[in-house]
Amino acid sequence: MDVRNVHAVLFDMDGTLVSSDAAVERAWTTWSAEYGVDPAGVLAIAHGSPAESTVDRVLPGLDPTLRTLAAGRQLQLQYDDLSDVTATPGALELLDVLERRGLPWAVVTSADQRLAKARLSAAAIHPPVLVTIEDITRGKPDPEGYLRGAELLGVRAERCLVVEDAEVGLEAGRAAGAFTAALKGLSGDLALTDLHQLAKLLATG
Protein backbone atom coordinates (compact mmCIF):
# COMPACT_ATOMS: atom_id res chain seq x y z
CA MET A 1 0.00 0.00 0.00
CA ASP A 2 1.02 3.64 -0.57
CA VAL A 3 1.11 5.47 2.76
CA ARG A 4 0.41 8.70 0.89
CA ASN A 5 -3.19 7.46 0.63
CA VAL A 6 -3.51 7.48 4.44
CA HIS A 7 -5.37 10.55 5.67
CA ALA A 8 -5.97 9.39 9.27
CA VAL A 9 -4.88 6.60 11.63
CA LEU A 10 -7.16 4.54 13.86
CA PHE A 11 -5.39 2.66 16.64
CA ASP A 12 -6.38 -0.27 18.74
CA MET A 13 -5.29 0.29 22.35
CA ASP A 14 -4.20 -2.86 24.23
CA GLY A 15 -1.10 -4.40 22.71
CA THR A 16 -0.96 -1.77 19.96
CA LEU A 17 -0.49 1.66 21.53
CA VAL A 18 -0.42 0.47 25.13
CA SER A 19 1.64 -2.41 26.49
CA SER A 20 -0.92 -4.01 28.78
CA ASP A 21 -0.87 -7.67 27.77
CA ALA A 22 0.39 -8.79 31.18
CA ALA A 23 -2.39 -6.92 32.98
CA VAL A 24 -5.01 -8.34 30.61
CA GLU A 25 -3.73 -11.88 31.16
CA ARG A 26 -3.67 -11.47 34.95
CA ALA A 27 -7.27 -10.26 34.94
CA TRP A 28 -8.56 -13.08 32.73
CA THR A 29 -6.61 -15.69 34.71
CA THR A 30 -8.13 -14.51 37.98
CA TRP A 31 -11.58 -14.28 36.39
CA SER A 32 -11.27 -17.80 34.98
CA ALA A 33 -10.46 -19.20 38.41
CA GLU A 34 -13.47 -17.43 39.91
CA TYR A 35 -15.81 -18.73 37.21
CA GLY A 36 -14.37 -22.23 37.02
CA VAL A 37 -13.20 -22.17 33.41
CA ASP A 38 -9.87 -23.06 31.80
CA PRO A 39 -7.69 -19.91 31.72
CA ALA A 40 -5.66 -21.14 28.75
CA GLY A 41 -8.80 -21.47 26.66
CA VAL A 42 -9.99 -18.03 27.71
CA LEU A 43 -6.66 -16.35 26.97
CA ALA A 44 -6.62 -17.96 23.53
CA ILE A 45 -9.73 -16.03 22.48
CA ALA A 46 -9.92 -12.97 24.74
CA HIS A 47 -7.35 -10.64 23.22
CA GLY A 48 -8.88 -7.77 21.29
CA SER A 49 -12.47 -8.77 21.94
CA PRO A 50 -14.99 -7.04 24.22
CA ALA A 51 -15.35 -8.73 27.61
CA GLU A 52 -18.99 -9.54 26.87
CA SER A 53 -18.06 -11.40 23.68
CA THR A 54 -15.49 -13.53 25.50
CA VAL A 55 -17.96 -14.29 28.29
CA ASP A 56 -20.52 -15.38 25.69
CA ARG A 57 -18.04 -17.80 24.16
CA VAL A 58 -16.79 -19.43 27.35
CA LEU A 59 -20.06 -19.32 29.31
CA PRO A 60 -22.77 -19.60 26.65
CA GLY A 61 -26.37 -19.33 27.69
CA LEU A 62 -25.83 -17.16 30.75
CA ASP A 63 -28.81 -15.19 31.99
CA PRO A 64 -28.40 -11.57 30.69
CA THR A 65 -27.98 -10.22 34.22
CA LEU A 66 -25.30 -12.78 35.07
CA ARG A 67 -23.61 -12.09 31.71
CA THR A 68 -23.40 -8.39 32.56
CA LEU A 69 -22.05 -9.16 36.02
CA ALA A 70 -19.43 -11.56 34.65
CA ALA A 71 -18.17 -9.04 32.10
CA GLY A 72 -18.20 -6.28 34.71
CA ARG A 73 -16.15 -8.40 37.08
CA GLN A 74 -13.52 -8.96 34.42
CA LEU A 75 -13.20 -5.20 33.82
CA GLN A 76 -13.12 -4.52 37.56
CA LEU A 77 -10.05 -6.72 37.86
CA GLN A 78 -8.25 -4.50 35.33
CA TYR A 79 -9.12 -0.98 36.49
CA ASP A 80 -6.41 -0.63 39.13
CA ASP A 81 -3.83 -2.99 37.62
CA LEU A 82 -1.64 -0.36 35.98
CA SER A 83 1.79 -0.98 37.51
CA ASP A 84 3.41 -2.25 34.31
CA VAL A 85 1.24 -0.46 31.74
CA THR A 86 3.37 1.67 29.38
CA ALA A 87 3.39 2.91 25.80
CA THR A 88 4.45 0.22 23.33
CA PRO A 89 7.83 0.59 21.58
CA GLY A 90 7.61 3.33 18.98
CA ALA A 91 4.15 4.55 20.03
CA LEU A 92 5.17 8.00 21.24
CA GLU A 93 7.52 8.46 18.27
CA LEU A 94 4.70 7.56 15.90
CA LEU A 95 2.27 9.97 17.54
CA ASP A 96 4.88 12.74 17.22
CA VAL A 97 5.12 11.98 13.49
CA LEU A 98 1.34 12.21 13.13
CA GLU A 99 1.36 15.53 14.95
CA ARG A 100 4.10 16.95 12.73
CA ARG A 101 2.35 15.78 9.57
CA GLY A 102 -1.06 16.98 10.71
CA LEU A 103 -2.58 13.52 10.35
CA PRO A 104 -5.63 13.05 12.60
CA TRP A 105 -5.79 9.93 14.77
CA ALA A 106 -8.08 8.16 17.17
CA VAL A 107 -8.12 5.19 19.53
CA VAL A 108 -10.80 2.54 19.00
CA THR A 109 -10.85 0.01 21.83
CA SER A 110 -12.89 -2.89 23.17
CA ALA A 111 -12.31 -1.53 26.69
CA ASP A 112 -14.82 0.67 28.46
CA GLN A 113 -14.14 4.37 28.97
CA ARG A 114 -12.86 4.07 32.53
CA LEU A 115 -10.30 1.40 31.65
CA ALA A 116 -9.27 3.07 28.40
CA LYS A 117 -8.63 6.41 30.06
CA ALA A 118 -6.71 4.79 32.92
CA ARG A 119 -4.41 2.81 30.62
CA LEU A 120 -3.85 5.62 28.13
CA SER A 121 -3.04 8.01 30.95
CA ALA A 122 -0.58 5.50 32.45
CA ALA A 123 1.11 5.35 29.03
CA ALA A 124 1.14 9.18 28.70
CA ILE A 125 -1.07 8.99 25.60
CA HIS A 126 -3.90 11.49 25.17
CA PRO A 127 -5.97 10.75 22.06
CA PRO A 128 -7.94 13.58 20.46
CA VAL A 129 -10.72 11.06 19.76
CA LEU A 130 -11.51 7.96 21.82
CA VAL A 131 -14.10 5.35 20.84
CA THR A 132 -14.82 2.72 23.51
CA ILE A 133 -17.19 -0.20 23.74
CA GLU A 134 -19.67 2.16 25.43
CA ASP A 135 -19.89 4.30 22.29
CA ILE A 136 -21.08 1.53 19.99
CA THR A 137 -23.59 -1.32 19.93
CA ARG A 138 -21.40 -4.01 18.33
CA GLY A 139 -17.76 -4.64 19.21
CA LYS A 140 -14.92 -6.03 17.12
CA PRO A 141 -14.90 -7.87 14.71
CA ASP A 142 -17.85 -5.69 13.71
CA PRO A 143 -16.59 -2.54 11.91
CA GLU A 144 -18.85 -0.15 13.85
CA GLY A 145 -16.10 1.17 16.13
CA TYR A 146 -13.70 1.95 13.30
CA LEU A 147 -16.46 3.49 11.20
CA ARG A 148 -17.37 5.66 14.19
CA GLY A 149 -13.74 6.70 14.67
CA ALA A 150 -13.41 7.70 11.02
CA GLU A 151 -16.66 9.65 11.21
CA LEU A 152 -15.52 11.57 14.29
CA LEU A 153 -12.25 12.46 12.53
CA GLY A 154 -14.14 13.57 9.42
CA VAL A 155 -12.22 11.15 7.18
CA ARG A 156 -13.69 8.40 4.99
CA ALA A 157 -12.86 4.97 6.37
CA GLU A 158 -11.30 4.06 3.01
CA ARG A 159 -8.65 6.71 3.70
CA CYS A 160 -7.89 5.49 7.22
CA LEU A 161 -5.18 3.12 8.40
CA VAL A 162 -6.27 0.75 11.17
CA VAL A 163 -3.35 -0.40 13.36
CA GLU A 164 -4.02 -3.65 15.23
CA ASP A 165 -2.40 -6.56 17.03
CA ALA A 166 -5.42 -8.90 17.09
CA GLU A 167 -7.19 -10.72 14.29
CA VAL A 168 -10.65 -9.61 15.46
CA GLY A 169 -9.51 -6.01 15.16
CA LEU A 170 -8.01 -6.55 11.72
CA GLU A 171 -11.30 -8.13 10.63
CA ALA A 172 -13.09 -5.02 11.86
CA GLY A 173 -10.70 -2.73 9.98
CA ARG A 174 -11.06 -4.67 6.76
CA ALA A 175 -14.86 -4.73 7.11
CA ALA A 176 -14.79 -0.94 7.54
CA GLY A 177 -12.96 -0.66 4.21
CA ALA A 178 -9.79 0.74 5.79
CA PHE A 179 -6.16 -0.06 5.11
CA THR A 180 -4.70 -2.29 7.85
CA ALA A 181 -1.33 -2.45 9.58
CA ALA A 182 -0.76 -5.67 11.53
CA LEU A 183 1.55 -6.34 14.46
CA LYS A 184 2.65 -9.63 16.08
CA GLY A 185 3.08 -11.50 12.81
CA LEU A 186 -0.51 -11.07 11.68
CA SER A 187 -1.49 -10.30 8.10
CA GLY A 188 -2.47 -6.80 6.96
CA ASP A 189 -1.82 -4.38 4.12
CA LEU A 190 1.30 -3.57 6.11
CA ALA A 191 3.10 -6.12 8.29
CA LEU A 192 4.84 -4.35 11.16
CA THR A 193 7.50 -5.50 13.58
CA ASP A 194 6.78 -2.50 15.81
CA LEU A 195 5.49 1.07 15.67
CA HIS A 196 8.97 2.48 15.04
CA GLN A 197 8.66 0.98 11.57
CA LEU A 198 5.33 2.70 10.92
CA ALA A 199 6.69 6.00 12.24
CA LYS A 200 9.50 5.86 9.68
CA LEU A 201 7.12 5.00 6.84
CA LEU A 202 4.73 7.85 7.64
CA ALA A 203 7.54 10.34 8.28
CA THR A 204 8.87 9.84 4.76
CA GLY A 205 5.63 9.01 2.96
Q: Is 80 helix (H, G, I), strand (E, B) or coil?
A: coil
Is there a catalytic annotation at residue 14?
A: yes
From 2, 14, 96, 142, the catalytic residue: 14
Residue 71 main-chain phi, psi, to 5 deg: -65, -40
Could you tell me which residues come within 8 angstroms of residue 40 by beta carbon, excluding any fewer than 6 positions away?
none
- HSE of 21, CA atoms in CB hemisphere, 13 A: 11
From 12, 81, 112, 165, the catalytic residue: 12
Is there a catalytic annotation at residue 194?
A: no
The CB density around residue 185, as the number of other CB atoms within 10 Å, is 9
Active site residues: 12, 14
